[in-house]
Structure 1
Amino acid sequence: MTLAEQQRIKRKLDDYVDDDLDLASSSSSSFVRMRKDDRNPNPQPQPQNPIQFFVRTISGGTTLVLRGYPHDTIELIHRKIHSATGIPIMDQRLIYCGKQLQSEHTLSHYRITNDAGLHLVARMRSTGHPLVWQLVDDLVSVICRACRGVVGQGASTSIKLKLTEFLNMLPTTDDHDHDDDHDHNHNHNHRDRSAAPYLDIFLSSSAPAALVMLYFSPHPGNKECALDSVQHFIKSLPRLIYSQFAPILLDFCKLLRRAAFHDDPLYKLCRTSLASMVHYINLATRNSNASSYNNMAIALPDIFPFMNELATKLSQDLVSSMESVSNSGPSSSDVHDFGAFLQPLRSAIIGHGTPLPVENSHNPWYSDEVGCLYTIFLDLLGKVQACLNRVEEHMKVRKEKGDGGWDQYLCILKELHHIAVLYQGAEDKFWMSLRCNKVSMCYLIVRYAKRGEDHKWILEHKELTDFASRRHLVMMLLPEVKDEYEELHEMLIDRSQLLAESFEYISGAEPGALRSGLFMEFKNEEATGPGVLREWFFLVCQAIFDPQNALFLVCPNDRRRFFPNPASKVDPMHLRYFKFAGRVIALALMHKMQVGIVFDRAFFLQLGGVDVCLEDIKDADPYLYSSCKQILDMDARAVDEDALGLTFVWEAEELGSMKLLELVPDGKLISVNSRNRKEYVDLLVKHRFVTSVAQQVTEFARGFTDIVTSEEIRKLCFKSLLLEDLDGMLHGSESPISVEDWKAHTEYNGYKCTDPQIKWFWKIVGEMTAEQRKVLLFFWTSVKYLPVEGFCGLASRLYIYKSGEGDRLPSSHTCFFRICFPAYPSMAVMQQRLNIITQQHVACSFGTW
């Protein structure tokens, strides 16, 4: 809409208050309002030419097509309507653009032109909701008097009271047996407790148009009164029937959209409120049957202009954010509303099955919208790609990056992906554009992806992300660690009974209590806090995966990796311990703990619901892998000549004895040949790494799911990561501890970096073995395995404090990453003291009472 059109509509609304009219009627009257079609602007009248116009009857089922001349009086039109419908002239009223037409005036007086739409307002002899009609008519009457300046400062209060009373009259249930306390003139056997007829009365009485008229009224205070009243109305909408108000909000939006700028506060409020409702309503199609309450039907073409308008705004804001990092860029509310208005259109297109061709949608209902939507997709995708290029440029130039609307780029991309899946070839175009901006994408994910948002669209495309961004996205799937002390799950554990007592505390707790956070304390030890919790996680995970406990086995080719032990059933409680293990690992990930444990690939894939193949067992069983490869690579003729002498059986050791298991029914009678050898190998792998440990994996997965809340999230966590990603999250850095990195992240209290004790300290650390450094770090911080990023990945910098005089052993406050030692008189004394604390049994104790 041009500025001239907006000003013309505003002048028309302002003209309302100059006419001597009252939209209110007596308590026995009802109105059905009709405005000119939203898509046809109101041209100036042409007095000398005959005109054709439409009059819609109260039921909405009949439309009269009348012809006349601009000089015809309204009284003549009433007579024509009487001849066509039989409605007495005295019971007729005509409404055009919110005005009641007076009999003595002419069509030209009201600027009625070709194709104009009038509403026939007929006096009702009876109504099912007389009190509602009366209240809404009174409301409109008060508003119209305020438009004429008749009502004083109390108008706002009066209007809000009547709006509140109307909302209080609405039924909030569809219970057909509930008595109607407000309306008595109805059939008790066929009561309609839906709010639809009440809301239809509100629309039919032109209440939204009256409030808009008040908003643009020139009288002082009226604009504020209307804004306050509509805000109050929207804020007070009953939650139980919130979505049923969509037609009313649509009416407000259409009126305001023609008469106000797009940044008008009342228009934006109504548009945002409508956006929050469209997701919950069933939208009518262009050729849907008429609604029971005609005014209450909403079609997709009604809401598409708002989505298109928001797309234009986002496009402009993206360009603005490229021009300067200081610009605000797209707003979160605009992006949210764009997605909300997009959703019903997406649903309509998805309902047609396969993606639509770009050139011809073959969809007569939505062809205009479908074509426009693809144009919107291309425009926004191009703008976002340019923005991502700009982000990468800033990342190269400066350390600190700007924030000019960058926080909304991912949200816009998510909506564009939703559009891309609707069109043939569009999804490939979408991902191809993002592959060129992997660096920017990873940066935006780590910085702006928030918990609770939908990240599935990017999680499935690991080629577009790096370890840091994938880790961040998975952390957003996990519960957030809480700091409220009152909600923490408390554990008091004896070190000598670490595994058994930890099992009781974790297995016996409700999952919700564990997700709230943990408070850990060792019996007869003074220390508490995060440092103790870090130590507990490390020790309990080492115990769970200790092969001597028979729950897990070590991979022969990579002794860091573990997979479930098929023979774990020697312990009758083994399945409960696997569920306990699943909970502990999920909690370790949730608390960002590096525990020095990594999974075998076959185990990892099963937790994500992915099938296991031969290449996945290379580390867990190199002998089986080699044998199967030989079977597959062997000459076909040799296999068919039974050179292998194999049948479909598996010989496995179980509890010290060998046992033959048939891989298929009567497997011992089926020879392996060149045609079935691939099936034979697949069955061997499946039995060895899936079937034989199915119960163990299932229970571990259940324990993990207890913490992450759903099986879908658990699978998504593992499917979204590479195995190496999980290695980094659970095990930590594989690189030796760098003394230089350690020094760079250490600060001093009581010492200076030039003091001899500090120089001695770092010289001694530099000469330690890799294991001694790990033990010293563990004593200092309760961290034995650093994050992948090294010391900068820790939650805090490290500190060296100067303690009292003498040559006492160093002490530590692991919660604060603090080590304390006195000013030793010589390097030899310091070395002797550090040698003591770098013994495993010393570093794992906080002392006793």
Structure 2
Amino acid sequence: MVGVGAVEQTWEPASSGDRLEFLFMTWMSSVAMLVSLAGCAWHRRRMQRRREGYHGIWNLHSRADAEWEGPADLAAAIQLSINDHIVSIPPTSLGILPPPQVRHDTSHSRDGRVSPTADYPSMKSINDLKDHLSAGSIFKMKRDWLSRELSKGRDGGKSEPSPARSERKLLQVVVRRDHVFQDSYLQFASISDDDLRNPLSIHFVGEVGRDDGGVTRDWYSALSKEIFNPQYGLFTFSAADDYTFQINPNSGINPDHLDYFRFIGTIVGKALLDGCLLDAHFTRLVYKRILDKPVSYHDMATVDVQFYKSLVWLLDNKLDGMDLGLTFSVDKENFGAYEEIELKPKGKEVLVTEQNKREYVDLLSGWRLKESVDAQFQALRVGLARVVDPVLLQNFDENELEWLIGGLPIIDAVDWRKNAVYKAGYRDSADCPVIRWFWQLIESWDQEMRARLLQFVTGTSKVPYPDGFKGLRGSEGLRPFHIVRVSDSSRLPQAHTCFNELILPDYDSFEELANNLTTAIFETGNQFQLLIRVAEVHDWSTIRRSKVVALLVIYSFTRVVPLKMGMTTYVLQYFAQI
């Protein structure tokens, strides 16, 4: 079995006065190593006696309800237990110490091979580490977890290592390169769900070459590009740019469109199973709908810019005394005829007012974003489910799903900065600290966090190839990445995705900028509604002086009460009252 590596912690004292605390941290690291090694010995003994029905009598619990089934979960428990000790230390000049990193030695299994179903961290353990590891590390762990789960399904749940490609039954597909979409569609229509789990062997007619994986990747690339061919009428360009795609609400003009969408879903699932990437650039809305996640009126920006502007106008302006003649209904065109659709019971009798306008915007945008293309998305999800259990994908958000399908883009911070545009008083110079801090933060982030920010501002984590950031486009053509100044530093950063604009408040410190931008990306980027803002935390200065205590309370609270949406908001509200 795979062993558990030592839990590594490395800190350097900021001054000689911190040496005692540094020694204490070193001692804690040694304790963690001993506990981890003890866990390895326990686990080996447990495996030796498993056939006798012995399941071990010693478990490390960081909480009373935790159950650790293997060495990876044990290491995660150690991680959390040590972290509890770290955050209980009073604040010093060391500041908040960096979290320890869990390292697993997965280089060898018992027979010298790495098993795809070896005892790796569970999704629960990975989620417990979200607050302590980088976004990149968490995504890689989740991606590897999905790969192992899909491999178990491919191997019928067996725990033995998978046989080599040459030893498996291959799924033979023969296509003409200039008819790759239609040929592939016709052949996949006759393939059973069980056979879909076999490795592909692709042959292009008239081309010489043995498929040891390279031809399959070439086929995925060629096929994914052909999916967007206008002659099929399945996708249209986003309203915000001309390099990301959305489902065409009028795809029904093609009588086979739903069969095509089922086929596309199957290809997406097959690519995930095979560990191959697609040359696909969808809008964020597409990934949210694949995951069947809630949508927001903000998603309308990539579908219909003018309609989105109208919704924003309704929300930003007082409607008292205005007779707009709007009701909770909408006219639906159906081949030249119009049908009145009520957004709620007796909606055509309910006028839109200042008091109910937010409900109207939510219902109207929900209808436009979901009902008009619901049949297409249902067909796509049915095809995807032939290969990938939808439950597995619920562990990912729409950003991560984009990276799983299309790969993580390499975002060049230098090119990004070179082509950025500043407005309302900002400039890239030494006397503008906020912009200097912003680029300092971007350079310190890994590719995953850069991609999240880019998607937060532009709606996609991709940049045009080969132009890079100078080729970014908005709803009205070329539109560089804009950073717009606002003086109200009590607010979180915001984004106007159809204009590639980041609304960045004039913060007073690098720490404030980093914290608020990260919060905006993860909270408002997922359409969570923050009920309070930073300025509403009445005693924030006191909490800032005791950040370790604040983190301890947040950490303990989220471990006891497993809140999902709005968790950060709830905790901040708690602090606002103390």
TM-score (norm 1): 0.36
SS of the residue 2:244 aligns to: strand
The answer to whether residue 160 in structure 2 is matched with residue 484 in structure 1 is: no
Q: 1:620 to 1:728 in 2, by over 3 A?
A: farther
Partners of 2:135 and 2:365 in 1: CA distance: 31
Contact 2:203 2:215 in 1 (8 A): yes
Q: Deviations over 1:109-155 (max 9, x none)?
A: xxxxxxxxxxxxxxxxxxxxxxxxxxxxxxxxxxxxxxxxxxxxxxx
Give per-residue Cα distances to partners, 1:693-718, cap 9 Å, x unaligned.
Answer: 2221122112112112x2312333xx
Q: CA 1:726/1:465 → structure 2, altered by over 3 Å: closer, same or farther?
A: farther
1:532: which partner in 2? 215
Question: Which residues of 2 match residues 413-424 of structure 1 at below 5 A?
Answer: 413=75
Aligned in 2, Cα 1:649/1:770: closer, same or farther, shift over 3 Å? closer
Q: Measured at CA, do residues 658 and 334 of structure 1 come closer, stay the same or move farther in structure 2, by a change above 3 Å?
A: farther
Deviations 1:519-559 (A, max 9, x none): 00011211231222111101111111334422222212243
Secondary structure at the counterpart of residue 702 of structure 1: helix
Change in CA separation of 1:515 and 1:601 when aligned onto 2, cut-off 3 Å: same
CA-based RMSD: 4.9
Q: Distance in 2 between matches of 1:411 and 1:318?
A: 18
The 2-side partners of 1:673 and 1:666 are apart by: 16
Can you give the 5+ residue segments of structure 2 that lack an aligned partner in the other structure? 1-27, 89-95, 108-113, 155-161, 415-463, 469-578
Name the counterpart of 2:352: 672
- How far residue 612 of structure 1 moved from its aligned partner, in angstroms, is 1.0
1:489, distance to aligned residue in structure 2 (A) = 0.5
User: Counterpart of 1:114?
Assistant: none
Decide whether the 8 Å contact of 1:563 with 1:600 is kept in 2. yes
How far does residue 500 in structure 1 lie from its aligned partner after superposition? 1.2
Hey, what's the Cα distance between the residues in 1 that align with 2:190 and 2:183?
Answer: 11
Residue in 2 that maps onto 1:322? 33
Aligned CA distance change for structure 1 residues 609 and 429 (closer, same or farther; 3 Å): farther
Query: Where does residue 691 of structure 1 map in the other structure?
Result: 371
Residue among 216, 233, 238 paired with 1:550: 233
1:23 — aligned with what?
none
Query: For 2:86 and 2:349, how far apart are their aligned partners in 1?
Result: 51
Query: Take 2:106 and 2:138, find their aligned partners in 1: how far apart are those partners?
Result: 5
Counting only pairs closer than 5 Å after superposition, residues 522-601 of structure 1 correspond to structure 2 as: 522-529=204-211, 530-601=213-284
Deviation at 1:460, TM superposition (A): 4.4
Larger radius of gyration: 1
Q: What is aligned with 2:43?
A: 332
Please name the residue that 1:711 is paired with: 390
* 2:409 counterpart residue number: 733
CA contact (8 A) 1:556 1:621 kept: yes
Does structure 2 conserve the Cα–Cα contact (< 8 Å) formed by 1:589 and 1:730?
no
Note if contact 1:557-1:619 (Cα within 8 Å) is conserved in structure 2: yes
Contact 1:566 1:693 in 2 (8 A): yes
Where do residues 135-174 of structure 1 align in structure 2 (5 Å cutoff)?
none
**1:20-31 maps to which residues of 2 (within 5 A)?**
none
* Paired residue secondary structure (1:524): coil
Q: Paired residue for 2:286? A: 603
CA distance in 2, matches of 1:609, 1:432: 37
Separation in 2, partners of 1:653, 1:495: 39
Q: Which residue of 1 aligns with 2:123?
A: 456
Q: Which ranges in structure 1 are unaligned for 5 or more consecutive residues?
A: 1-316, 346-368, 385-406, 421-425, 739-768, 774-849
- Rounded to whole Å, the distance in 2 between the matches of 1:711 and 1:445 is 30
Match of 2:203, SS state, is: strand
Q: Structure 2 matches for 1:267-666, cutoff 5 A? A: 322=33, 329-333=40-44, 377=62, 410-413=72-75, 440-441=101-102, 444=104, 451=117, 455-460=122-127, 462-463=130-131, 464-478=133-147, 479-480=150-151, 483-485=164-166, 486-529=168-211, 530-638=213-321, 641-642=322-323, 644-651=324-331, 660-666=340-346
3-state SS of 1:580 partner: helix
- Shift in Å, 1:614: 1.9
Post-superposition Cα deviations, 1:742-796, rounded to whole Å, max 9, x if no partner, equal: xxxxxxxxxxxxxxxxxxxxxxxxxxx96599xxxxxxxxxxxxxxxxxxxxxxx
Q: Which amino acid aligns with 2:165?
A: E
- Which residue does 1:812 correspond to in 2? none
Whole-Å Cα distance in 1 between the matches of residues 106 and 409 of structure 2?
19
Matches of 2:105 and 2:281, distance apart in 1: 25
Distance in 2, Cα, partners of 1:648 & 1:659: 14
What residue is the counterpart of 2:12 in the other structure?
none
Matched residues, percent identical? 21
Q: Which amino acid aligns with 1:332?
A: H
CA–CA separation in structure 2 for the residues paired with 1:666 and 1:416 = 57
CA distance, structure 2, for counterparts of residue 446 and residue 568 of structure 1: 48
The 2-side partners of 1:532 and 1:577 are apart by 23
Closer/same/farther in 2, CA of residues 468 and 322 from structure 1, 3 Å limit: closer
The secondary structure found in structure 1 opposite 2:265 is: helix
What's the CA shift for 1:590?
A: 2.8
TM-score, normalised relative to structure 2: 0.52
Which whole-Å CA distance do the structure 2 matches of 1:339 and 1:625 have between them? 60
| Secondary structure of 2:377 counterpart | helix
- Superposed CA deviations along residues 646-704 of structure 1, whole A, max 9, x for unmatched, are 12223455557766533234433322112221111111121111122222112211211
Q: Deviations over 1:210-264 (max 9, x none)?
A: xxxxxxxxxxxxxxxxxxxxxxxxxxxxxxxxxxxxxxxxxxxxxxxxxxxxxxx
Output the CA distance in 1 between the equivalents of 2:190 and 2:266.
Answer: 11
The answer on whether the counterparts of 1:520 and 1:532 sit within 8 Å (CA) in structure 2 is yes
In the TM superposition, residue 632 of structure 1 has moved relative to its aligned partner by: 1.3
- Residue 412 and residue 318 in structure 1: after superposition, are their counterparts in 2 closer, same or farther (change >3 A)? farther
**Distance in 2 (alpha carbons) for counterparts of 1:628 and 1:536:** 42
Amino acid aligned to 2:306: Y
Q: Partner amino acid for 2:146?
A: L
Partner of 2:575: none
Indicate if the aligned counterparts of 1:438 and 1:465 stay in contact, CA closer than 8 A: no
Secondary structure of 1:687's aligned partner = helix
Which residue in the other structure is 1:173 paired with?
Answer: none
Work out the CA distance in 2 between the residues paired with 1:668 and 1:331.
68
Q: C-alpha separation between the residues in 1 aligned to 2:100 and 2:336?
A: 54
